Chain A
């Protein structure tokens, strides 16, 4: 019983503002888990409410959660409000809760876009838990490998925990060199995919698939590649939205805490706290919302007359590509060595991002989107080798691309198609994927420089994202809109990685 009082104390501490009535509601333990989640989504730190369950049942002491909420960039009130208003969000969060027993920060932030969250969770669930060619623990290990490439300790610790739960091959967690050779072979395409996906060739595939002791079957490989791409891009989202590290309720009772604690001490938060002070003083860009909307309107009208010559179009793409290389390339040389806890899952850590287009070297040929598109080619291949994943990914890409609320900042009823397409295509442009039917001049007009810096950082080397970057673009926009941007970047990146790999696999097969 004393533990229960302790709990109440803790409870009042955090939820002091919540009316007593709701407290009584919770005290009366007849409430279903649904109620609990509803409650927790109201009061944000879900970890606490999950701990509530735990302590009710086991009488364990609960650690106090970080006060900063799910994201270091977004004030927690924003996220709470969103989930409070929207019954759909609430339901999806409830679903997520019932699946894993807790709702992590990532899910909460993504909950700002419930429609997308639904298809995201569905595909992630399928990828990690449903029937597939790879054994379950391997999937989590691959996820760890992928996230570690970007030093994303949030995802690494999340999946270390999942891996731990499987209870198999625990010594793999000591580092990559303890994992079987087969998984380590995957490291080659892992690093290429993470940093320079355009370098992937059919020889890489051949090396993995060729018969031998540690060979992969094509189906397994495709599964692994989808996981890799999924978690690379998810790392982008995590850094781009400043997701705070998780204090997991499971962790509270001392179980496996030794393992987790050294992973979990993430310096992301402290890093951002530093940045926060700076951001307040950072100058507000003058490029305002109205100007952007004006340009969109003008572009729309111009389209009819605009008769840019084909050469012009081609140069525009090249220009955008070249320019993307100048954007935020200040500190390319001093490669940051990854933090030690995550780095044990990384081999060849020095392999990092390099620009697709570099001066004075023969660049890899431009990837023509029309020659190998997701809809026509990628889908068929992926679905053939790993059934049903194609449908789920297709749904996810589609949802991300079509998602719109028809408003921009304070303006309503705006067609944002153009802006969304510019974001998506700009990411692909940086990866050297060109759409014949897109005028890359639009990118230049719609995306301001600070936004380009942000995009470049988040997609190519997300670990360097700072709060200042996040704050410096689109000042008048809502946080949920910035999360929307992150979703687009994430999906664009994932698709680009998949396209390059799947093209290599196709070439290997023919």
Chain B
């Protein structure tokens, strides 16, 4: 029988026809609902309650249910529902807390049938049972849901959500007794209509109110919920715990959600604020709406599919006082406008490019990506799903690798590490950087540095550190101890690194061994002979261990010589107050433009292409030492822009920092900021955190320096009770214990706390350092052999 009726309705649906059309209502609508045969729609709002007939070409007003001279608040509807079995039966939820039913079969003008005023607050939702004629459910702001039997004068049962205001109630389409309720506090509850004392299940679906929910018309276990947190989630309720299986992120809070009939994966949503469009989503493609209806001028308040088995007609009511019928064929498809091309640079200069396959297929020279055939994005391999109505965009991914030697970004990393940006006199900085550039085989850059030194140094200093003096690497102070290893080129550095690795391994071994050694005595006693092989192995290790210990000591000594201080830029104890005194006024730039200078212009220009050393030797005498530094500024500015445009923003920024006030005024702040940002971004991509921090610190743009001050909070947990310490970092509010006590001096550590990763004892940096100079055991007396590196 059920089957039969469905067939007939399905047949009936084929008769539905129409076009995209709308009509003006007199007042904003709050909700709409259609009758079962899809020929009429009811619109309800604060000042409107009407039934419209859906004709081929237009809406026709059939009936105004709002009668009486001074309509009472019972007509002010928050929600309306047309019974899906009985075509004369309607129910509304009033803002004053009344639940009203209407019988269209009544002969009188006033069709009001029953009035229930049991709710104390606004009723947000009414819902008829899908198959039972007399059963009505309501959910209200007061936190209660009530089930009414329309043959009785009052509610049959009351369900208390025990939490907060009820926003939506929905009977399950398939399970006779089940209904879902969504709440203002983010919870969703499942109830059995026979058991009003307790919910069957509750889970938190959203942060903030869940405005709506909808059961999937075909799939028994699927429930879609929409919330103020701008998300639509689809839950699988068949499992023990409600499982989120799909999630769609929209751009505004979700007011209504309705599954699209006959389409398993589609659902329609509309929003309560700001966004006026109606979206139909394919939940498997949560990023781009499958279709959009953009007709409304104010927020859409109600959406409903015209017929239960027809996916092509959508009705909607809105605050802009219009009622629309949308045709699916007229919907706009955002996918068509989406750009299927993508382009991305790899960190080391590789380039990946994805484009429609049709565009690329002609290219014959393409060769497969070395690491397996990865030309295609993953989803391309997915078997095309026929139910999925998304336009298939098969794109091809090409990866262009830069040739191994020339274009690799190694130089960038090395340069970043080795450049000195501050802490020395200007001339020394320039020389150092020039040398670095030269060693990295970048003569042009190197020359630039040298010339900068010549241009801007005082004549007195000029003579002392000539460009050829750079050779003595040993005397050059290092930025930090770390860079020492990297200083060497190519093979050497690799060697160093491998050395480092092996040493680390040894530490692990050592730790392991010390443990084993502790256990060993007992173990050995028991199985001296039985496990000879193992013992031997262990013995071997122990030998190694000795060796290691030895080398370790050596290392430690070396480290001591290198000084223990941490790299200064990594731990600025406190931000220096940026109070850059203005540099002494430079000579006016006008001077450079004076006729006397213009004669020199030609020579200056010939300098800019900066090509080789030889040029310097010629040009040096050309410039008398009296020539003021600002004279070069325009040239340098051009040079910097040139570098930046060529992609070597590193050079631009480094020169900017090293020259400091000499050049800063020449370049406008936005450009500077732009350079800084790009350079810092690059540095962070290469994980050169220390360098990037140094650059941030040395920059003078306020927008850049404040980067340093974001997210500087460090959250700590108490070592006793393991709970977060909210107030101060050193005393726990709950257990009133000082959390971090120095193992050496037994006082609270309020600054840097250093601790051993092996035994987790520690204390003041200085104290632990001093302690470990004299002893290798843990200061706490736990017997652990701590190590400070």
Residues of A within 8 A of B (CB): 32, 34, 91, 94-95, 98, 303, 307, 309-311, 313-314, 368, 370-371, 375-377, 379-381, 384, 391, 394, 436-437, 506, 509-510
Q: B216 interface residue, CB < 8 Å from A? A: no
In the complex, what distance in Å separates the CA atom of A32 from the CA atom of B228?
A: 44
B115-133: which have CB < 8 Å to A? 117, 119-122
Are B273's CB and A368's CB within 8 A?
Answer: no
Q: Which residues of B contact A307 (CB under 8 A)?
A: 117
Distance A310 CA – B73 CA, assembled complex (angstroms) = 6
* B122:A95 contact, CB within 8 angstroms: no
Closest 4 CB pairs of A and B: A310-B72, A436-B95, A380-B273, A436-B96
Task: Output the nearest chain B residue to A381 by Cβ-Cβ distance.
Answer: B273
Closest beta carbon of chain A to B696's beta carbon, Å: 18
| Chain B residues within 8 Å of A384, by CB | 252, 273-274
CA distance A370 to B272 in the complex (A): 13
- The answer for the CA separation of A380 and B731 in the assembled complex, in Å, is 39
- Alpha-carbon gap, A376 to B252, bound state (A): 11
Residue of B nearest to A34 (CB): B731
Inter-chain pairs besides A32-B731, A436-B97, 9 sampled, C-beta below 8 Å: A91-B733, A94-B727, A311-B70, A370-B76, A376-B228, A380-B253, A436-B76, A437-B121, A506-B273
Task: Select which of A32, A309, A370, A509 is within 8 A of B122 by beta carbon.
Answer: A370
User: Which residues on A sit within 8 Å (CB–CB) of B273?
Assistant: 376-377, 380-381, 384, 506
Q: Which residues of A contact B728 (CB under 8 A)?
A: 34, 98
Are A380 and B120 interface neighbours, CB within 8 A? no
Contact (Cβ within 8 A) A309 B121: no
CB distance from A94 to the nearest CB of B (A): 7
State whether B76 touches A437 (Cβ < 8 A).
Answer: no
Q: Does B723 contact A (CB under 8 A)?
A: no
Per the bound structure, the CA–CA distance linking A12 and B120 in Å amounts to 59
In the complex, A506 Cα to B119 Cα: how many Å? 31
Give the CA-CA distance A380 to B228 in the complex, in Å: 7
Chain B positions within 8 Å of A34 at CB level: 727-728, 731
Task: Give chain B nearest CB distance to A423 CB in angstroms.
Answer: 17
Checking B73, B117, B228, B276 against A314 with a beta-carbon cut-off of 8 angstroms, the contacting residue is: B73
**Bound: A506/B726 CA distance, A:** 38
Contact A437 B120 (CB under 8 A): yes
Bound CA–CA A307/B274 (angstroms)? 39
Q: A125 to nearest B CB, angstroms?
A: 13
Residues of B within 8 A of A94 (CB): 727
Taking the closest CB of chain B, its distance from the CB of A354, in whole angstroms, is: 27
A303→B120 contact, CB < 8 A: yes
C-beta contact mask, B712-750 vs A, less than 8 Å → 1, else 0?
000000000000001110010100000000000000000
Known contacts A313-B73, A375-B184, A384-B274; A436 and B252 CB within 8 A of each other: no
Of chain B, the residue at the smallest CB distance from A376 is: B272
Would you give 27 A-B contacts (Cβ < 8 Å), ordered by A?
Answer: A34-B731, A91-B733, A95-B727, A98-B727, A98-B728, A314-B73, A370-B46, A370-B78, A375-B209, A376-B209, A376-B211, A376-B253, A377-B272, A377-B273, A380-B228, A380-B272, A380-B274, A381-B273, A391-B208, A436-B76, A436-B94, A436-B96, A437-B95, A437-B97, A506-B273, A509-B274, A510-B299
- Please measure, in the bound complex, the distance between the C-alpha atom of A9 and the C-alpha atom of B609, giving whole angstroms: 78
Q: Verify B96–A437 contact, CB threshold 8 A.
A: yes
B72 with A309: CB separation less than 8 A: yes
Contact B122 A437 (CB under 8 A): yes
Given contacts A307-B117, A370-B78, A370-B95, contact A436 B274 (CB under 8 A): no
Binding site secondary structure of chain A: helix
Which residues of B lie under 8 Å from residue A368 when comparing CB positions?
Answer: 46, 95
Across-interface contacts of B97 in A (CB, < 8 A): 436-437
Interface residues of B in 58-82 (CB under 8 A from A): 70, 72-74, 76, 78
Residues of chain A within 8 A (CB-CB) of B122 are: 370, 436-437
Give the CA-CA distance A32 to B732 in the complex, in Å: 13
Q: Hey, which chain B residues are within 8 Å of A313, CB to CB?
A: 73, 96
B321 in the interface, Cβ–Cβ < 8 Å?
A: no
* B interface majority secondary structure: loop
Residues on the A chain within 8 Å of B276, using CB: 510
B486 close to chain A: CB less than 8 A: no
With a cutoff of 8 Å between Cβ atoms, the chain B residues found around residue A311 in the complex are: 70, 72
- Whole-angstrom CA separation of A376 from B117 in the bound complex: 24
Residues of B within 8 A of A309 (CB): 72
Q: Say whether B141 faces chain A, with CB atoms less than 8 Å apart.
A: yes
- In this assembly, does B601 line the interface, its C-beta being within 8 Å of a C-beta of chain A? no
CA–CA, A380 and B121, complex, Å: 22
The complex places the Cα of A394 from the Cα of B184 at a distance, in Å, of 12
> Which A residues are in CB contact (< 8 Å) with B228?
376, 379-380
CA of A437 to CA of B46, assembled, Å = 13
Which listed residue, B117, B209, B274, touches A381 by the CB 8 Å rule?
B274
Residues of B within 8 A of A310 (CB): 72-74, 96
**Complex Cα–Cα for A473 and B122 (A):** 32
Chain A residue nearest in CB terms to B272? A376
Task: Mark interface residues in B99-120 (1 if CB within 8 Å of A CB, else 0).
Answer: 0000000000000000001011
Residues on the A chain within 8 Å of B96, using CB: 310, 313, 436-437
B548 in contact (CB, < 8 A): no
Q: Which residues of the partner chain A approach B72 to less than 8 Å between Cβ atoms?
A: 309-311
Q: When the two chains form their complex, are residues A380 and B141 in contact, meaning their CB atoms are under 8 A apart?
A: no
Chain A residue at minimum C-beta to C-beta distance from B123: A437
**Min distance, Cβ B131 to any Cβ of chain A, angstroms:** 31
B236 adjacent to chain A (CB < 8 Å): no
CA distance A384 to B184 in the complex (A): 19
User: Is B298 an interface residue, CB under 8 A from the partner?
Assistant: yes
Q: Which residue of B lies closest to A91 (CB)?
A: B733
Interface flag for B297 (CB, 8 Å): yes
- Cα(A436)–Cα(B141), bound, Å: 12
Tell me the complex Cα distance, A307–B117, Å: 9
Q: Are A380 and B73 in contact (CB under 8 A)?
A: no
**Shortest distance between the CB of B577 and any CB in chain A (Å):** 11
Question: Measured between alpha carbons, how far is A98 from B725 in the docked complex, in Å?
Answer: 14
CA distance A65 to B422 in the complex (A): 51
Please give the distance in Å from A146's CB to the nearest CB on chain B: 26
Give B251's nearest chain A residue, CB to CB. Answer: A384
Residues of B within 8 A of A379 (CB): 208, 228
Q: Which of A375, A436, A506 contacts B73 (CB 8 A)?
A: A436
Q: How far is the CB of A163 from chain B (nearest CB, A)?
A: 20
Q: Which residues of A contact B70 (CB under 8 A)?
A: 311
List residues of chain B with CB within 8 A of the CB of A32: 731
- Give complex CA distance A314, B121 in Å: 16
Q: Does the CB pair A371–B46 fall under 8 Å?
A: yes
Report B494 CB to chain A, min CB distance, Å: 44
Q: Which residues of A contact B298 (CB under 8 A)?
A: 510
A377 partner residues in chain B, CB cutoff 8 A:
272-273
Q: Which of A91, A370, A380, A510 has the most CB of B within 10 A?
A: A380
Q: Considering the chains assembled together, what is the distance between the CA atoms of A371 and B211 in angstroms?
A: 15
Are A380 and B252 within 8 A (Cβ)?
yes
In the assembled complex, the CB of A96 is this many whole angstroms from the nearest CB of chain B, namely: 11
User: Could you tell me the distance in whole angstroms from the C-beta of A137 to the nearest C-beta in chain B?
Assistant: 14
Residues of A within 8 A of B46 (CB): 368, 370-371
When C-beta atoms are compared, the residue in chain A nearest to B728 turns out to be A98
Q: Nearest chain A CB to B49's CB is how many angstroms away? A: 14
Kindly supply a per-residue 1/0 record for chain B positions 294-311, scoring 1 wherever the CB is within 8 Å of any chain A CB and 0 otherwise: 000111000000000000
Complex Cα gap A91–B731 (Å): 13
Closest chain B residue, CB of each to CB of A32:
B731
How long is the Cα–Cα vector from A368 to B733 in the complex, in angstroms?
A: 46
Chain B residues within 8 Å of A303, by CB: 120
For B76, give the chain A residue with the smallest CB separation. A436
Residues of A within 8 A of B120 (CB): 303, 437
Q: Compute how far the CA of A34 lies from the CA of B274 in the bound complex, rounded to whole angstroms.
A: 47
A120–B577 alpha-carbon span in the complex (Å): 32
A504 to chain B, nearest CB (A): 14
Which residues of A lie under 8 Å from residue B94 when comparing CB positions? 436
CA distance A171 to B527 in the complex (A): 86
CA A510 to CA B300, docked complex, whole Å: 12
Which residues of B lie under 8 Å from residue A510 when comparing CB positions? 274, 276, 297-299
Q: Chain A residues near B141 (CB, 8 Å)?
A: 437
